[in-house]
Amino acid sequence: MTSSSDVLSPSRAGTRLTLYDAALGRPGALVLDQVDLDVAPGEILTVVGSSGCGKSTLLRTLAGLLPLLSGEITQDGRPLTGPSAERALVFQEDALLPWRTLRGNVELPLAIKALPRAERRTRAEAWLGRVGLAEHARCRPHHVSGGQRQRAQLARALAAGPRAVLMDEPFGALDAQTRAGMQDLLVEVLRGTGATVVFVTHDVDEALFLGDRVALLGAGRLIAVRDVPRPRERAAHDDPAHVALRREVLTSLGS
Amino acid sequence: MIRTAPRAAQYALRVTALTAALGLWQLLTSLDIDLWLRFSQFPTVADVAGAFAGRLSGPDYWTDLTDSLTRVLTGFLVAAVLGVAVGVLVARSRLAEDLLGPLLEVVRPIPAIALVPVAILLFPSDEEGIVFITFTAAFFPVLVSTRHAVRALTPVWEEAVRTMGGGRWRILGSVVLPGALPGIFGGLSIGIGVSWICVISAEMISGQYGVGYRTWQDYTVVDYPGVFVGMVTIGVLGRLTSAAVELLGRRLTRWLPRTSCVPGARVPRRTHQAPAPAAAGPTPAPAGPGPKEDLPHDQLV
């Protein structure tokens, strides 16, 4: 794996994503209003909120799939106008193309970047190996488990070296054990990429484990953004500061 | 090993059924049975077989066959390409939908064979007219199924490719066409069947050479065994071409989830070939057992 380090880690650092007084939603269906949010380069921001509160809308807006209704959105200070390979999106449901093998799926963003075929293959296989799917590279998505599909999606999102990774409840459909394993894997594969991550979840514990900061959504507003003490440490679960933040988050979500 | 015995029995049963049907035909016609249904004018199986053997050694039979085949394939291929192109366009573009939609909806209900007068007025020779009618017949099934298939695509596939930086053509090539392929092949299977119906009818009306033309000629000169030779030829050609389309479709859509591969609770999608037997018409029976056989075999894997 000596050569894989430069294959796996992109050269550029994370990107800054900023919303100013933004109204989010579809025309005629406002979902979030007056959103001011600044996602710092390289941080992991988790977003929690009850279902239907606009988490996915926020993510799709950051991805550039959904234009703002009003306000302003910028990437590194420049207006963000549409989807780009710099901001990869990981979906909750199956977004792998079922007619491509797992390797074919991971190769797709590299093909869009017009990398030579041999390099695409090396990179895709390195990434699949990194998420533990080396043996399944030639399987089609329907032949592997839900957890393996999400790992392949992760590999696909990271393979092209995006500067931001936007994740829409990527582990939402997985069982508790697989989910914990996936969280560890995510922390492990993000290390060294420097990518900014916005991670949407309805699971408060997941949000507090993964996030440097956690954003709370509710009632059509961004309620608060809090710093998380000792992020990505399993042992931090019993930390008094952590417990207090967990209680605050749960209270504000009204559950 | 478990499969060999039932399979042999299955084939034996099929051969027996076919032989029995031919035997009944031979019996009814050779005995000149006239019980409301009149078999006295009917050629016997032996007559037809004799006529067939005679035709096979003559030059006209093969000319007719290649003429019909060329007409069908030309019309069908043009219909496949244009049907898919227009179907994708109409499904993906509001402007195309508004411009072409009403026109297509008005022309679609007209049976292709009713366009014979139009074809005669429009084209310099019968040959192009027949190809045009064949084309029209196959065009609409392909168009309609492509349009439905493209509209039914999972939106996240497209969103995923867009967030990888993929543009319009990348989405077309990597998502829309492969994703719609199962539906498109449904339309192609129907299209090839309808093409045969229309090429034979058109040849009967205005052709020179061709299986349909020959069959109608034989009828007008009271050569009934010749008529049956024509019918058998049409049946065999239709079966072979639709089998080729289905085989190609199955090859290109191997990725479709089957019962065996699905670990979770996902409902297995029916194979797209399902509507084909109805379109193929004359020989639906052999197509049936294929998927049924696969099922227990795949579940063991």
pLDDT > 50? residue B75: yes
- A10 and A195 Cβ atoms separated by less than 8 Å: yes
pLDDT > 60? residue B296: no
Q: Which of A60, A19, A13 is nearest to A41 (CA)?
A: A13
pLDDT > 70? residue B101: yes
Shared-domain flag, residues B139 and B54: yes
- A45 and A97 Cβ atoms separated by less than 8 Å: no
CA A39 – CA A25 distance, rounded (Å)? 20
- The least confident of A50-54, B26-30, B150-154, B199-203 is A50-54
- A228 and A213 Cβ atoms separated by less than 8 Å: yes
Question: A156 to chain B: nearest residue by CA?
Answer: B164
pLDDT > 70? residue A15: yes
Q: What is the DSSP letter of A36?
A: E
What are the beta bridge partners of residue A196? A164
User: Nearest CA to CA, how far is B163 from chain A (Å)?
Assistant: 5
Shared-domain flag, residues B105 and B202: yes
Whether B301 is in a domain gets the answer no
Nearest Cβ partner of A83 from B162, B179, B262?
B162
**Ramachandran angles phi, psi of A211, nearest 5°:** -85, 140
Structure tokens of B114?
């009713």
Could you give the residue range(s) of every CATH 3.40.50.300 domain in chain A? 13-86+162-255
Shared-domain flag, residues B111 and B144: yes
Tens digits of per-residue pLDDT, A48-69? 888 778 888 899 999 899 988 8
Which pLDDT belongs to residue B204? 87
Shared-domain flag, residues B81 and B160: yes
Shared-domain flag, residues B151 and B34: no
pLDDT > 80? residue B265: no
- A104 and A127 Cβ atoms separated by less than 8 Å: no
> Measured between alpha carbons, how far apart are the two ends of chain A, in Å?
46
Shared-domain flag, residues B35 and B66: no
- A182 and A174 Cβ atoms separated by less than 8 Å: yes
Whether B10 is in a domain gets the answer yes
**Which of A66, A108, A168 would you mutate first to test chain B, the one with the most B CBs within 10 A?**
A108
Q: Per-residue pLDDT averaged across B94-107, rounded?
A: 90
Which pLDDT belongs to residue A81? 86
CA B251 – CA B291 distance, rounded (Å)? 14
Whether B300 is in a domain gets the answer no
CA A40 – CA A37 distance, rounded (Å)? 10
Whether B112 is in a domain gets the answer yes
What is A13-86+162-255's CATH number? 3.40.50.300
CATH number at residue B113: 1.10.3720.10
Shared-domain flag, residues B97 and B34: no
Confidence of residue A222 (pLDDT cuts 50, 70, 90): confident
Nearest Cβ partner of B255 from A86, A99, A160?
A99
Which pLDDT belongs to residue B151? 92
Shared-domain flag, residues B125 and B153: yes
Shared-domain flag, residues B145 and B18: no
In terms of DSSP H, where are the helices of A64-175? Answer: 102-112, 117-130, 146-159
Tens digits of per-residue pLDDT, A130-166? 888 888 888 888 888 888 898 899 889 888 888 899 9
CA A48 – CA A224 distance, rounded (Å)? 10
CA A31 – CA A65 distance, rounded (Å)? 15
**Contacts with A64 from chain B: Cβ below 8 Å:** 163
Structure tokens of A124?
């895709």
Shared-domain flag, residues B29 and B108: no
- Please give the residue that has the higher pLDDT: either A221 or B150: B150
Structure tokens of B288?
């049936």
Structural domains of chain B, count: 2
Q: Please indicate if any CB of chain A lies within 8 Å of the CB of B162.
A: yes
Shared-domain flag, residues B24 and B139: no
CA B238 – CA B231 distance, rounded (Å)? 11
C-beta atoms of A112 and B257 within 8 A: no
Structure tokens of B56?
């096979």
pLDDT > 80? residue A237: no
| Domain, as residue range, for B17 | 1-42
Whether B192 is in a domain gets the answer yes
Tens digits of per-residue pLDDT, B141-150? 999 999 999 9
Q: Rounded to an integer, what is the distance from CA B296 to the centroid of its chain?
A: 28
Structure tokens of A163?
């500067």
Q: Which of A91, A23, A20 is nearest to B163 (CA)?
A: A91
CA B80 – CA A147 distance, rounded (Å)? 39
Q: Per-residue pLDDT averaged across A226-253, rounded?
A: 81
CA A90 – CA B137 distance, rounded (Å)? 44
Q: Which of B290, B287, B260 is nearest to B7 (CA)?
A: B290
Indicate the residue type of A105.
Answer: N
pLDDT > 90? residue B77: yes
Q: Please indicate if any CB of chain A lies within 8 Å of the CB of B59.
A: no
Question: B266 to chain A: nearest residue by CA?
Answer: A142
Task: State the maximum Cα–Cα separation within chain B, in Å, rounded to a whole number.
Answer: 76
Shared-domain flag, residues B28 and B162: no
- A164 and A117 Cβ atoms separated by less than 8 Å: no
